[in-house]
Amino acid sequence: MSRREESIGNYRIRKASVFRRLLMDSLDAIPPGHNMMALLEFDVTKARAKLRKQRREGKAVSLFAFLVKSIAATIAENGELNSVRSAHRIVEFEDVDVSVPIELDRAGEMTSRQLVIRRASRKTVEQINKEIEAARARHRTSGETGREDQQTLRLMKRMFLLPKFVRTLVLRKFISNPFIVKRMSGTTFVTSVSMYGISGFAVPYLGGPKALSVALGGVVRKPVQLGTRIVTREILSVSVFFNHDIVDGAPAARFTNSLRKRIENAEVL
């Protein structure tokens, strides 16, 4: 609703969507965590060259799908990072299920919806990319991105029949159950802001019981030293967040070193 007051000027009041309201309630329900953050830069020159070559050969691949696969494969080798905490219990899962947000147009309003890529470490880059595109196509026809999104929609309809304090209690109960967390939103979270022109680091909200979250920034060309030469390379900004309640510094360092090697050598391609 558009309004105007002489001393203020024009303004508009809009009601938050049910998705935004549930997000607000979920953030209220998440207990504070104890986190470590690593701000990293990875050389993706080799990976992007390989991706361009594969696209010319007709393969449906993307940099984001490549990074999701690389992260999932590295988590699979470091099992404690595929864990979800519940009070003093830590449940370590075998399957690496990666939750990624997808921005979609819903009745003229841009909204972020969840897609959980199950067993991502066992899938190829092309399979992951096709799964993301298929979720976008499903949303255009059905309004949903997948099973988890459908469950969330169903849950929202029921939750908003309850008072706010009851919704918070129910959500807190869900978040404290590692098996519900995995079923509804996977074991790790990966988001990217590169498509919005952000060339630096992204530091999103981090909370909840998962061991690991990753935010991918943009790619920029930078001069770097290789041996005795100064060359221009394509550099990706990556923010990695560790839940210190689950992960110590040494395992976190091993993970980041392994992830750097896998990405910079384009191993999964």
| 269 residues of the chain, pLDDT tens digit each | 556 566 777 767 777 766 677 767 766 767 667 888 999 999 999 999 999 999 999 999 999 999 999 999 999 999 899 999 888 899 999 999 999 988 766 666 666 778 999 999 999 999 999 999 998 888 777 766 667 777 777 777 777 777 877 877 887 888 889 999 999 889 999 998 765 555 677 776 666 789 999 999 889 999 888 888 999 999 999 999 999 989 999 999 999 999 999 999 999 99
Backbone angles phi, psi at 13, to 5 degrees: -110, 125
| Half-sphere exposure (Cβ direction) of 177: Cα atoms closer than 13 Å | 10
Whether the CB-CB separation of 214 and 71 falls below 8 Å is answered with yes
CATH number at residue 196: 3.30.559.10
5 in a domain, yes or no? Answer: no
63 part of a folded domain: yes
Reported as a single tens digit per residue, the pLDDT across 179-233 is 999 998 899 999 987 655 556 777 766 667 899 999 998 899 998 888 889 999 9
Name the pTM for this structure. 0.84
Neighbours of 84 (CB within 10 A): 27
Q: Is residue 269, in this structure, part of any structural domain at all?
A: no
Domain assignment present for 10: no
- At 196 the pLDDT is 54
The widest CA-to-CA distance across the chain, in whole angstroms, is 66
Distance CA 68, CA 52 (A): 17
Residue 1 resides in a domain? no
Number of domains within the chain: 1
**Domain assignment of residue 50, yes or no:** yes
Which token pair is 64? 């984001």
Residue pair 48/269 in contact (Cβ under 8 Å)? The answer is no
Q: Quick one: tokens of 44?
A: 């993706």
- The answer to whether residue 24 is domain-embedded is yes
Residues with Cβ < 8 Å from 241, sequence gap 6 or more? Answer: 35, 36, 37, 38, 206, 212, 213, 214, 215
For residue 123, give its domain range: 16-264
Q: What is the DSSP string of 115-149?
A: EEETTGGGS-HHHHHHHHHHHHHHHHHHS-SSHHH
- 2 in any annotated domain: no
